[in-house]
A = this chain, B = another copy of it.
Amino acid sequence: MDRGARNLITDVPGLLVGNASDPALKSGVTVLTSTVPFVAGVSIMGGAPGTRETELLAPDKTVQEVDAIVLSGGSAFGLAACDGVSDGLVAAGRGFAVGPVRVPIVPGAILFDLLNGGAKDWTANPYPALGRAAFDAAAPDFALGSEGAGTGATTATFKGGLGSTSCRLPNGTTVAALVAVNALGSATVGEGREFWAAPWEEGQEFGGIGPASHYPKTIKTKLGGQGANTTIAIVATDAALTQAQCTRVATAAHDGMARALLPSHTPLDGDLIFAVSTGSREVQTPPEDLLLIGHTASICLARAIARGVFSARPAPGDVCPVWSA
């Protein structure tokens, strides 16, 4: 299938992504937003999630659209990044209208990067400012790897990072993924550098070295090591989906995590996926199309996970090597 022009989630028209990173903190924030609200759902499969405003994404809840979604480092402290994003949205006159006031709707999720060698001895929570900076940086182009929520991310084998990919379906629909990879498990097979996601690589977007030729039975995990986990993602499409359909796409997209990370969805990962629809393609989406969007989202996410690890760069004090070294 064809990639979009940027091979980023921002190939979905209207979506913007901003990163903010603090190298000393070894952490950061990634924000997905748009100039207009967009429909969002969520599916949570990990055993240790850290979230904010995810309950209102249930299809029966009143609010159907959000103003931004935050992926952040910092474990539960990182949920404060949503405050900074909210401030930015208020300054832009954005938010859910309740009489004369506007309340920005900013769901967020965090990953655990408190034991990654960064300076975590702050006296005031740094994440609201990082959230605001990420929001202010939102643009169609953004950097991958050790950026934003992926700044201090790790996996069992190599440094994690921020990944993104896109796909253009034959009917013109765009499907794309954005992920901060910080898994307890590994995106690569055994001791080697081949990615689990290799069967779905487009071009040489994560190195082009192809699938592994040998599959050892033992798995790599962070257990006994820094114990700092969670992979959080957003998948997106311009197909017009309801919140319930977004929820189904988020569920199907978890297959991409299962295929790209072993193990995944563990009791010690907060693995979760948001799915968003900009709805700019004003068509009904029947089950057959929803099926293809969900499957494509899973493939985009698997590719984005490999690309996040592939794109990581070394930094002072790192606790694990980078894939490209």
Q: Which residues of A contact B (CB under 8 A)?
A: 1, 45, 47, 184, 189, 199-200, 211-212, 215, 217, 219, 221, 223, 248, 251-252, 254-259, 262-268, 287-288, 290-291, 294-295, 298
- CB of A268 within 8 A of CB of B255, answer no
- CB of A251 within 8 A of CB of B294, answer no
- CB of B248 within 8 A of CB of A255, answer no
Q: Report which of B258, B262, B294 forms a contact with A263, defined as CB distance below 8 A.
A: B294
- CB of B248 within 8 A of CB of A254, answer no
Residues of B within 8 A of A248 (CB): 47, 267
- CB of A263 within 8 A of CB of B295, answer yes
The complex places the Cα of A22 from the Cα of B121 at a distance, in Å, of: 68
Residues of B within 8 A of A263 (CB): 252, 255, 291, 294-295, 298
Q: How far is the CB of A300 from chain B (nearest CB, A)?
A: 12
The complex places the Cα of A248 from the Cα of B290 at a distance, in Å, of: 27
Residues of B within 8 A of A252 (CB): 263, 265-266
Q: Give this chain's copy count.
A: 2
Q: Report which of B184, B254, B294 forms a contact with A254, defined as CB distance below 8 A.
A: B254
Q: How far is the CB of A248 from chain B (nearest CB, A)?
A: 6
Residues of B within 8 A of A287 (CB): 47, 267-268
Q: Report which of B219, B221, B223, B265 forms a contact with A251, defined as CB distance below 8 A.
A: B265
Closest to A223 in B: B288
Residues of B within 8 A of A259 (CB): 258-259
The complex places the Cα of A219 from the Cα of B79 at a distance, in Å, of: 39
Q: How far is the CB of A227 from chain B (nearest CB, A)?
A: 10
Residues of B within 8 A of A219 (CB): 295
The complex places the Cα of A291 from the Cα of B295 at a distance, in Å, of: 26
The complex places the Cα of A71 from the Cα of B255 at a distance, in Å, of: 23
- CB of B223 within 8 A of CB of A199, answer no
- CB of A255 within 8 A of CB of B251, answer no
The complex places the Cα of A33 from the Cα of B262 at a distance, in Å, of: 31
In addition to A248-B267, A266-B291, A267-B287, 8 A-B residue pairs with Cβ atoms within 8 Å of each other are A199-B215, A251-B265, A254-B254, A255-B258, A255-B264, A255-B265, A267-B291, A268-B288
Residues of B within 8 A of A251 (CB): 45, 47, 265
The complex places the Cα of A287 from the Cα of B287 at a distance, in Å, of: 38
Q: How far is the CB of A247 from chain B (nearest CB, A)?
A: 10
Closest to A255 in B: B258
Q: How far is the CB of A196 from chain B (nearest CB, A)?
A: 9
Residues of B within 8 A of A199 (CB): 189, 212, 215
- CB of B223 within 8 A of CB of A291, answer yes
Residues of B within 8 A of A291 (CB): 184, 221, 223, 263, 266-268
The complex places the Cα of A211 from the Cα of B214 at a distance, in Å, of: 9
Residues of B within 8 A of A288 (CB): 223, 268
Residues of B within 8 A of A257 (CB): 255
